[in-house]
Amino acid sequence: MKSNNGTPPIRVAVIGCTGMAGRNLVIALDKHPWFKITSLHGSRNVNKPYKDLIKISQGLLSKAVLNCKVSTVDDLENNIDSIDVIFSAIPSETAALIEGRLAEFKPVISTAAAFRYDSDVPILLPVVNGDHYKAIFTQQRLRNWKGFVCAGPNCTTVGLAVALAPIFRKFGLATVHLVSMQAISGAGYPGVPSFDILGNIIPYIENEENKVKIEIKKILATIKVENSKSTWNFPEFVIDCKCNRVPVITGHTISVFFQTIIPTSVKEIKNTIRDFKGYTNGLNLPHNPEPVIHVFNSDTPDRPQPCLEFHSPKTGMTTFIGGLEPTSFENGFKMTILSNNLELGAGSGAVLNAEYLVEKGLIGGSE
């Protein structure tokens, strides 16, 4: 089998393949022009075909993947030379034990939080902080690894980071305050019990608020790598948030209030956001967002909405912004942000990270 450009396919293993994030990873990787799923791994119900372990709509996956027998992570470690890159969608407490062992030998693209806050691990969101991949060189030197761990953002932080990046870089940010309304799919499968969430809002998600406050500053930071040492310069804006679980299937919505350092206007901010292309602009990456951000005009004040925006696979990678207005605070503005927690915030976002690292020469196939 050859990829679309005639090079050998990049051989992929997925660990945590039966969970919500894992399933979306498998969907994004199946039939990918660069990657070929070689093995699937889990911790429970192994030695069974993948189709017997998941509930999924007919036609979403190829027969080869549906019939692939799920094996243990131990099996992956014993056959690691047959893999070029590993995608991990396992819980953070498990990831802390497993991902490092695998990264000694191969690249690990992770959706977990286990390594996100380590100074030599990027929280990669290539549209926003594509230069952060350079931290990987520090990581490999310090840990003496042949591979590496590349972490993706928390599924709430991702849309916030994309929306704020162009504003922060042009006008600066003094304060950011937000309230999230997070879909139940963000809690994984089977997720929140229906008796708890139907007709209800749960105003607490464990550790979520701290993740958002830490991650947004690392994602928007600048990095300097010299002599294989990474130096981070973190933003100084004040941020706080309140995170809530709401009875929506897919899509995290955020109401955000922010103050800029440089005085500006709604028109200038909209133009800045619409002009934003990001680090992946011009790169032929299969999961590149098109567009990166969609800004609604003032004649559609009731958008974005989760039920209306995610109407095709491509829109799952776009961040939607609406309701951009001035507030009564000095240099203050407010807006509504919507992003797809299963696509940009998990499976397809992780695949985009891998595509970007292929472009940078950090992931490749074998003859």
Residue range 300-313: average pLDDT?
A: 91
Place of tokens 């993947």: 65
Q: Of 358, 301, 300, 313, give the one whose Cα is nearest residue 340.
A: 313
pLDDT at 55 (0 to 100): 87
> Residue 262 to residues 174, 185, 269, 328, 332: CA-CA distances in angstroms?
9, 38, 11, 16, 11
Q: Write down the number of H helices and E strands in the chain.
A: 12, 15
CA distance 84 to 42: 18
Label the pairing between strands 252-260 and 173-182.
antiparallel
Q: Above pLDDT 90, what percent of the chain?
A: 89
CA distance 49 to 300: 47
Is residue 355 scored above 90 in pLDDT? yes
First-to-final CA distance of the chain: 11
CA distance 40 to 79: 12
68 burial class (0-12, 13-18, 19+ CB within 10 angstroms)?
A: buried
Cis peptide before 8 (omega within 30 of 0): no
Domains of the chain by start residue, with CATH: 10-154+347-359 (3.40.50.720), 157-339 (3.30.360.10)
pLDDT at 76 (0 to 100): 96
Q: Above pLDDT 70, what percent of the chain?
A: 98
DSSP secondary structure of 170-232: HH-EEEEEEEEEE-GGGG-SS-S-HHHHTT--B---TTHHHHHHHHHHHHH-EEEEETTEEEE
Q: Are 56 and 78 in contact (CB under 8 A)?
A: no
Is residue 296 scored above 80 in pLDDT? yes
The three-state secondary structure class of 13 is strand
Residue range 45-58: average pLDDT?
A: 88
Q: How far is CA 14 from the centre of its chain?
A: 16
Provide Rg for the chain, Cα atoms: 20
pLDDT confidence bin for 1, thresholds 50/70/90: very low
pLDDT at 294 (0 to 100): 97
Q: How many CA atoms lie within 13 A of 292 on its CB side?
A: 25
pLDDT at 3 (0 to 100): 46
pLDDT at 2 (0 to 100): 41
Instruction: Evaluate the CA torsion angle 164, 168, 171, 175 in order and state its sign.
Output: positive
The pLDDT tens digits for 321-351 are: 999 999 999 999 999 999 999 999 999 999 9
Place of tokens 């001035």: 326
pTM, rounded to two decimals: 0.95
pLDDT at 227 (0 to 100): 76
Residues serving a catalytic function are 155, 252
pLDDT confidence bin for 366, thresholds 50/70/90: low
CA distance 171 to 259: 9
pLDDT at 313 (0 to 100): 66
CA distance 10 to 140: 21
DSSP secondary structure of 260-326: ESS---HHHHHHHHHH---TTTT---TT--SSSEEE--TT-TT---HHHH--SGGGGG-EEEEEEEE
